[in-house]
Amino acid sequence: ICPTPTVQLTVKKLKAAGGIAISASHNPNEWNALKLLNNTGQFMTPDENKVLMKLLDSEKKNFNPWNQLGKRTYSDGVKDHIKDVLNLKYIDVKEIRKRKFKVLADCVNGAGVYVIPDLLKEFGCEVIEMNCEKTGIFPRFPEPLPENLTETMKVVKKSKADLGVVVDPDVDRLVLITNEGEPFSEENTITQAVKFILSKKKGNVVVNLSTTRAVDDVAEAAGCKVYRSSVGEANVVKKMKEVDAVIGGEGSGGVIYPALHYGRDALVGIAITLQHLSEFGKPISELKKSLPDYFIAKKKIELGNIKPDDIINSLVRKYKSEKVNTEDGLRIDFADHWVHFRKSNTEPIVRIITEAKTKAKAEELSKKYFEQIKTLL
């Protein structure tokens, strides 16, 4: 058992033909399925998936007998992953160890149990383990959202930890908790990582269309440019390669640092966070205050028999005079807020993601756009 990013990195290091990770990510375990990787250790692109599906649907499949499938070996992928993170440029292990951080690690009894406590100990942290049993049985809803982390946040504050680190079951998402027991914000995971990396190396940044505008603010302050991609790791990675980005990710807590590999990786996110805090010299609650402050509101609307594309197209026509992006649904950027309308690939719904400078404004705008779609039904 190991994290999905460990599989990705191991495929790259072994120069394997591909890889398979069995995971439901942050979903309940009945959603376990195969995550297919190409020979670069990245998730297969839509075109690669089409080739595979065509092969699987073909009647000319050739199967080997069970005892001629090749050899099975076990790599030191987890140990190698930790070692590679410790050796990353801009990560000064000795300096981090001097800080003697007290860190609560909540691994939701998932794959993070096998790697996160060990990584933190390598950084000289005093580790408080929570939900770190090797059972694979989730003690709470596994998605690392504030409403699922009430107990975790209480323990961070009660134990007087410097911070809490929370990962999802397959360790590609990282959420932080402040020393005050408050959410750092999953959007701020990538924001602070971008701020730190751009302080060391100027370059392009890629995030998806649903990620906070705070990333644009910190990149602009560093004299760098942000590019947007469709939602999904494969789409972010594709755009990162196109623009030679120095860092990228998604606002759901995903950090992609190509200096190691092209995949969301909570281990990398933890290393960057600890280094950032070491150099910042103040508590993580103060680091949060130093970042641009935005609030995101999310809604979804069920469409019944109406096609999501018809709704999106109607909205495109309505807002055609505004600053729009139609690469993945419709994103509209206004001076004081933005909204992203996305269709689901599995359900007849449209998701509405709205960001503004205050929580009340974000929720007000979210409700407004929800009502606009209702008039189109």
How would you classify the pairing of strands 247-250 and 254-256? antiparallel
As given in the structure block, the two tokens for residue 133 are: 């049993």
Query: Among the three residues 242, 260, 290, which one is the final residue of a domain in this structure?
Result: 290
- 280 neighbors 192 (Cβ within 8 angstroms): no
The answer on 247 and 325 residing in a single domain is no
User: What is the pLDDT at residue 63?
Assistant: 84
Mark which of 290, 309, 337 sits at the end of a domain. 290
Q: Structurally, how many domains does the chain consist of? A: 4
Determine the 3-state secondary structure of 27 from DSSP: coil
Judge if 328 and 250 occupy the same domain. Answer: no
C-beta atoms surrounding 343 within 10 Å: 19
Task: Cite the beta strand spans of 183-273 per DSSP E.
Answer: 205-208, 226-229, 247-250, 254-256
Q: What is the CATH number of the domain that holds 301?
A: 3.30.310.50
- 201 plus 258 within the same structural domain: yes
Sheet holding 247-250, edge to edge: 226-229, 205-208, 247-250, 254-256
Q: In angstroms, what is the C-alpha Rg of the chain?
A: 21
Residue 341 within any structural domain of the chain: yes
223: domain CATH number? 3.40.120.10
User: What does the alpha-carbon distance between residue 226 and residue 207 come to, in Å, rounded to a whole number?
Assistant: 7
- pLDDT score at 220: 99
φ/ψ (deg, to 5) at 164: -115, 140
b/e code 278-294 from CB counts within 10 Å (16+ = b): beeeeebeebbeebbeb
Residues 212 and 271 in one domain: yes
pLDDT at 330: 98
φ, ψ dihedrals at 233, nearest 5°: -55, -45
Q: Are residues 31 and 89 in the same domain?
A: no
Q: Do 86 and 93 form a contact (C-beta atoms < 8 A)?
A: yes
pLDDT at residue 207 in the model: 99
Residues 299 and 360 in one domain: yes
Residue pair 133/110 in contact (Cβ under 8 Å)? The answer is: no
Q: What is the per-residue pLDDT for 314? A: 96
User: What is the number of alpha carbons within 13 Å of residue 259 lying toward its C-beta?
Assistant: 19
- Residue 276 confidence (pLDDT): 99
- If asked whether residues 101 and 18 sit together in one domain, one would say no
What are the helix and strand counts (H, E) for the chain? Answer: 13, 15
pLDDT tens-place string over residues 152-183: 999 999 999 999 999 999 999 999 999 999 99
Largest CA distance in the chain: 63
Domain end position, chosen among 122, 155, 177: 177
- Cα gap 252→172, rounded to integer Å: 10
In a domain? residue 169: yes
Is residue 69 in a domain?
no
Residues of the chain with pLDDT under 50: none
- Residues 249, 336, single domain; the answer is no
Q: Looking at residue 30, what is its pLDDT?
A: 87
Residue in 292, 106, 309, 113 with CA at minimum distance from that of residue 212: 292
Domain that holds residue 38: 4-59
Query: Is the same domain home to 268 and 199?
Result: yes
Tokens coding 176: 């932080």
Mean pLDDT of the residues in the chain: 96
Tell me whether residue 66 is in a domain.
no
Judge whether 48 lies within some domain.
yes
> Rounded to an integer, what distance in angstroms lies between the CA atom of residue 48 and that of residue 218?
35
Domain identity same for 83 and 15: no
Q: Where are the beta strands (DSSP E) in 72-125?
A: 102-106
Which residues belong to the active site?
A: 25
Residue 218 phi, psi (nearest 5): -70, -35
* 227 neighbors 221 (Cβ within 8 angstroms): no
- For the entire predicted model, the pTM comes to 0.95
> Residue 72: what pLDDT?
80
Residues 83 and 164 in one domain: yes
Distance CA 145, CA 160 (A): 21
Residue 31 gets which letter from DSSP? G
